[in-house]
Amino acid sequence: MSFIKVCTLDDVWEGEMESFDVDGTSVLIVNLGEGNVQAVQSRCPHQDVDLADGEICDKVLTCKMHLWQFDVCSGKGVNPSHAKIAQYPVRIEGEDIYVQVEGVEEVHIHS
Amino acid sequence: MNKSLNAMVELKGTDHVFECSPGDTLLAAGLRAGLGLPYECNVGACGCCKVELVEGEVEELYPEAPGLTPRDRRKKKVLACQCRPVSGVTIKASPQDEFAPRIKPLKKAMTFLGKRSLGTDLDEFTFQSDSTADFLPGQYALFDIAGVEGVRAYSMSNLPNDQGLWQFIIKRVDGGSCTGVLFDDLEPGSTVELDGPFGTAFLKQGTYRDVICIAAGSGLAPMLSVARGFIDADDTCDNQLHFVLGMRHLSDIHLDEVVVKELDTSSNVITEVTLSNKEAASSIGWQGSVGYVQDVIREKVAAKIHDCEIYLAGPAEMINDTVRMLVLDMKVDVGRVHYDRFF
């Protein structure tokens, strides 16, 4: 199980987020400040919209399309409460942000 | 490729395969095949129908469509509502039950019967198809008018019926090519091609909750259909419907035709009309609400907002502002809020 380098702290400043392709998986890196960096799936589980195009405020991530909201620290849906997003383990070494995508399944609404 | 043959479309990673007839978009073909491909506006603006083109070629009807971001294009995404396959194609998409059509959208020729004025530059158009009119209250149809480039989406204002009647309340757009034809050139007896029904913001049955319909501008038609459907339904007698209608001037809509004659006569419908042009309202001695629909919501229905199904229709900015207020400020569950945005 390996951690892959995704980007540096200079690529995603405090209070910002950006999506990156990590070994075929689209991962959203969210820098909440004070060394707290979260990594979650960048595809909204509702309709595949890129969550990087949405808003992040404190730890609440809002999707631009239908305003679904998630807590990036717990992966749980704020609205709707039944929603959730996959979380990926993060390691920071110096300025570098590493993420592990193996073994984690993205969440999306199935038909 | 022989342009008269159907193109095969495969969904990668699934067993789903469907045929796309010449002239049909990927989205319409998928929906006609019963596949719940996500979509909203059907005209390239919202981006909800984007899919990844894995293999094959498509013709893009609207290359600069605002629904695609530069990041989308880098990832080979296309808008299913704006693409026609040129060869067999494989796409990556995530169909959902919510979008699987309850009534299969079909192209049909309709006869224009006539129109009547319902306000300033606002007419109710009636068309007749040669089979029953099947749609759900709140849905829309795409008009393909000879001489007008591209299709236009208009919502039905009446209810499904056996007589084959489809009614639309359409506002003339200044300089608009389609409304110019509809208002000025269309003669009773002439034929128009419609495709539909489309839309997922239709009246939900069996919720046993009160309903709030929020209409502004062109949103009058689908909200009237939803309200009519509510009045007509068997399972709504213990519920109320609040019809919140926003206008700029009192003359925009003939309230006696729309509100007084019909909605006000129903004992479980409460209408709230608000005029946003305050000076004009006070100059005619208007005693009702002034301001925007969001103000009426906050002042009149905030207390019960979490127990309602909410439908919105009108200009996209009104919908976006009101949905933000409902969901982000008032914390209404996103699943209770229904709308189709047309940009």
Contacts of B333 in chain A (CB under 8 A): 79-81
Nearest-angstrom CA–CA distance, B338 and B55: 34
Question: Residue A84 has what pLDDT?
Answer: 95
pLDDT value of residue B127: 98
Whether the pLDDT of residue A82 is over 90: the answer is yes
Q: Residue B311 corresponds to which tokens in the numbers above?
A: 């439908």
Q: CB-CB: which of A49, A50, A67 is closest to B334?
A: A67
Cis peptide bond prior to A80, omega within 30° of 0: yes
How close does chain A come to B92, measured CA to CA in Å?
Answer: 11
Residue A50: list chain B partners with CB under 8 A: 69, 71-72
Q: How many CB pairs under 8 A join A and B?
A: 47
**Mutation choice for A interface testing from B50, B328, B339 by most A CBs within 10 A:** B328
Q: Name the residue among B38, B94, B327 with its Cβ closest to that of A79.
A: B327
pTM of the model: 0.94
- pLDDT value, residue B325: 97
Contact state of A67 with B328 under an 8 Å Cβ cutoff: yes
Which B positions 25-44 lie with beta carbon below 8 A of chain A?
36, 38
Chain A residues closer than 8 Å to B334 by CB? 66-68, 79-80
Chain B CB contacts of A69 under 8 Å are: 328
ipTM of the complex: 0.92
3-state secondary structure of B73: helix
Closest by Cβ to A108, choosing from B94, B98, B328: B94
A67 has a pLDDT exceeding 80? yes
Angstrom distance (rounded) from CA B313 to CA B154: 11
B290 touches chain A (CB under 8 A): no
Task: Compute the nearest-CA separation of A81 from chain B (Å).
Answer: 8
Task: List CB contacts of B265: < 8 A, sequence separation 6 or more.
Answer: none
Q: What mean pLDDT value characterizes chain A?
A: 94
Tell me how close the Cα of B319 comes to any Cα of chain A, in angstroms. 11
* Burial class of residue B177 in the structure, from the number of CB atoms within 10 Å of its CB (0-12 exposed, 13-18 middle, 19+ buried): middle
pLDDT, residue A55, reads 97
Q: What single string gives the DSSP state of each residue in chain A?
A: ---EEEEETTTS-TT-EEEEEETTEEEEEEEEETTEEEEEESB-TTT--BGGGSEEETTEEE-TTT--EEETTT-BEEESTT-B--EE-EEEETTEEEE--TT-PPP----
Task: Please tell me the predicted confidence (pLDDT) of residue B2.
Answer: 53
B239-to-A71, B100, B210 alpha-carbon distances in Å: 35, 28, 5
* Contact residues on chain A for B98, CB-CB shorter than 8 A: 109
Q: Give the per-residue pLDDT at B218.
A: 85
| Position A108 confidence tier, pLDDT thresholds 50, 70, 90 | confident
Q: Is the pLDDT of residue A48 over 90?
A: no
Average pLDDT by consecutive 10-residue portion of chain B (343 residues)? 78 94 95 96 90 94 90 90 95 92 96 96 97 97 91 96 97 92 96 96 95 94 97 92 95 88 91 93 92 95 96 95 97 96 83
pLDDT in tens, A7-42: 999 999 999 999 999 998 999 999 999 999 999 999
Touching check for B217 and chain A: CB below 8 Å? no
Q: Say if CB B272 and CB B300 are below 8 A apart.
A: yes
Predicted local confidence at residue A110, as pLDDT: 64
